[in-house]
Amino acid sequence: MTRYQSTFPGADNSCRTANAVSISVIRRCLLLCALSTVCLPCTYASSRLSTDVIHMKNGDVMTCEIRSLSQGQLTIKQGYANSTVSLDWNEVDHLVTQQPFAIIGSDGKSYSGAMSESAEDRILRITGIDNAAIPHAEVVSIQQTGTTFVRKLRGSFDLGLSFTKSNAQSNLTLNTDLNYQGEKHMGAFSSSTQFSTQQKTTNTSETTVKSGFFRELGRPNWYGGGIANLLSSSEQEIDVRTTFGAVLAMRPIFTNKTNLTLFGGLAYTLEKDAENAQATASKHSLDAAAAVEFSTFRFDSTTFDTTVWVYPSLTSAGRVRMTLNQDVYFKFLKDFYLRASFYDNYDNQPVVNAPPNNFGVTTTVGWSFR
């Protein structure tokens, strides 16, 4: 992720002013989370029939609407329930449906059509333009076809708050994540914003934003697309740093337990330093861009995400920038989770008197949707 940092106005004013700014920011973030929680279920309302049939290994049979399969979780909606249910794909014996879906196997090949399985061989058979058969354990993604872009999004919002009375210190962390997996496209957006206020000290905030959208190339698990990242850091005296690039992506591992994606390409960086900051490198840079994204997940429990981006400059000799994000998610109640995050923004040629690293640890509570 890329993080945004700014300085609140009136940093040297009284504690009352600092707290007023902090409370205003907190209220806005809480309002955003509340609106998202209320509006998203309406956006995700479906017009599909609840006629799909799921047979579990323990003998249970459910008539429902199949919503999606992702990260080993089969999401369904039963006609008599007011919320979705997540099933462990490994515990599903077989399924039958006459409605169209987009299916992706572990080899990255995608198919569209109606799908069905039998209890005898547990092979998912797809009937459509191109008929296909995929072993149950090798089915990685199932998405409804004919649905809107929004219906194919997976995402989460999480929030962390802390306050210390002795020194009037308050901290706020707000994270958002959105992921899209279509038949031929994939995309991601993530942001993290942190605000900190303390009596008689400068108020700070930091936000990182990363986004990318990719289209499948001629070969399965190979994608081409673009990235757009932003960083602003008061600690490193960066007002705004934007990076735009063209990137190739390859997924050597794509299963129901582990995903690994590699990126490589070129990026253009435009940087505006804080007022009165003295730069040691060019504010315009052409960079190489390379990244690794690794995720491992277990059904209804823990998820580990690691993302590393490295930008060796091609026009500023010797300059290297890096962003590192490590996130651990612990689910504790349906779609609610605890999140522990470590981040590091590195620049070996920072502005004068600014540190090369800005790193930290945050803990938040959040809600996910799919």
* Domain-embedded: residue 359: yes
Q: Is residue 196's pLDDT more than 60?
A: yes
Residue 65 located in a structural domain: yes
For the stretch 53-76, pLDDT in tens is: 999 999 999 999 998 898 889 989
Q: Mean per-residue pLDDT for 101-118?
A: 88
* Same domain, residue pair 82 and 175: no
Domain that holds residue 80: 52-146
Q: Do 268 and 302 share a domain, yes or no?
A: yes
pLDDT at 184: 82
Residue 92: the pLDDT is 94
| Distance from the Cα of residue 5 to its chain's centroid | 20
Residues 360, 248 within the same domain: yes
Boundary (domain end) residue, out of 88, 112, 146 = 146
Residue 246, domain member (yes or no)? yes
The residue with greater pLDDT, 23 or 64, is 64
Average pLDDT over residues 319-326: 94
Q: Please tell me whether residues 210 and 110 are part of one structural domain.
A: no
Measured between alpha carbons, how far is 45 from 261 in angstroms, rounded to an integer? 32
Among residues 115, 146, 177, which one ends one of the domains?
146
Q: Calculate mean pLDDT across residues 297-323.
A: 91
332 belongs to a structural domain: yes
CATH number, residue 128:
2.30.30
User: Domain total for the chain?
Assistant: 2
Which of 89, 119, 146 is at the close of a domain?
A: 146
pLDDT over 80 (residue 270): yes
pLDDT bracket for residue 369 (50, 70, 90): confident
On whether both 261 and 340 belong to a single domain, the answer is yes
Kindly state whether residue 177 falls inside one of the protein's structural domains.
yes
Q: Are residues 106 and 201 in the same domain?
A: no
Do 168 and 101 lie in one domain? The reply is no
Evaluate whether residue 116 is within a structural domain.
yes
Is residue 289 situated within a structural domain? yes
Q: Based on the fold, state whether residues 107 and 217 are members of the same structural domain.
A: no
Residue 20 has pLDDT above 50, yes or no: no
264 and 358 assigned to the same domain: yes
For residue 210, give the CATH number of its domain: 2.40.160
Three-state DSSP string of the chain: CCEECCCCCCCCCCHHHHHHHHHHHHHHHHHHHHHHHHHHHHHCCCCCCCCEEEEECCCCEEEEEEEEEECCEEEEECCCCCCCEEEEHHHEEEEECCCCEEEEECCCCEEEEEEECCCCCCEEEEEECCCEEEEHHHEEEEEECCCCCHHHEEEEEEEEEEEECCCCEEEEEEEEEEEEECCCEEEEEEEEEEEEECCCCCCEEEEEEEEEEEEECCCCCEEEEEEEEEEEECCCCEEEEEEEEEEEEEEEEECCCEEEEEEEEEEEEEEEECCCCCCCCCCEEEEEEEEEEEEEECCCCEEEEEEEEEEEECCCCCCEEEEEEEEEEEEEECCEEEEEEEEEEEECCCCCCCCCEEEEEEEEEEEEEC
Q: What is the mean pLDDT of residues 131-138?
A: 92
- Kindly indicate the confidence band of residue 131, based on its pLDDT and cuts at 50, 70 and 90: confident
Note whether 213 and 226 are same-domain residues: yes
Question: Could you report the per-residue pLDDT of 214-249, keeping only the tens digit for each?
Answer: 999 988 889 999 999 999 888 888 888 999 999 999
Provide mean pLDDT across the span 139-166. Answer: 82
Judge whether residue 294 has pLDDT over 90: yes
Say yes or no: 114 and 164 in one domain.
no
Residue 180, domain member (yes or no): yes
Residues 126 and 178 in one domain: no
What's the pLDDT score for residue 312? 96
Q: pLDDT digit string (tens) for 28-41? A: 545 544 544 445 54
pTM: 0.79
